């Protein structure tokens, strides 16, 4: 999100879990997560960040997670 003063704000932490935690039953955004991932690991965050980069820059022919 962006504030009225153009400052970025990170939101939406309901699916944050410690490394190794089970992700089954955790609310995740349709087509913005890898449905084959069932455990919290650091690479999940990097994959998601890359997906946002692709979406913002249109720098790849398709999205990783099906969007």
pLDDT at 63: 61
Q: Are 25 and 17 in contact (CB under 8 A)?
A: no
Q: pTM for the whole thing?
A: 0.59
Q: 2: Cβ–Cβ under 8 A, 6 or more apart, which residues? A: 8, 9
| Residue range 6-56, pLDDT digits in tens | 999 988 787 789 999 999 888 887 777 788 889 999 888 888 888 888 888
């Amino acid at each position: 999100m962006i504030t009225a003063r153009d400052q970025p704000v990170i939101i939406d932490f309901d699916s944050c879990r410690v490394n190794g935690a089970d992700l089954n039953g955790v609310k995740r955004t349709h087509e913005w997560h890898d449905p084959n991932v069932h455990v919290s690991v650091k690479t999940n965050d990097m994959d998601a960040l890359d997906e946002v980069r692709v979406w913002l820059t249109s720098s790849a022919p398709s999205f990783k997670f099906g969007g």
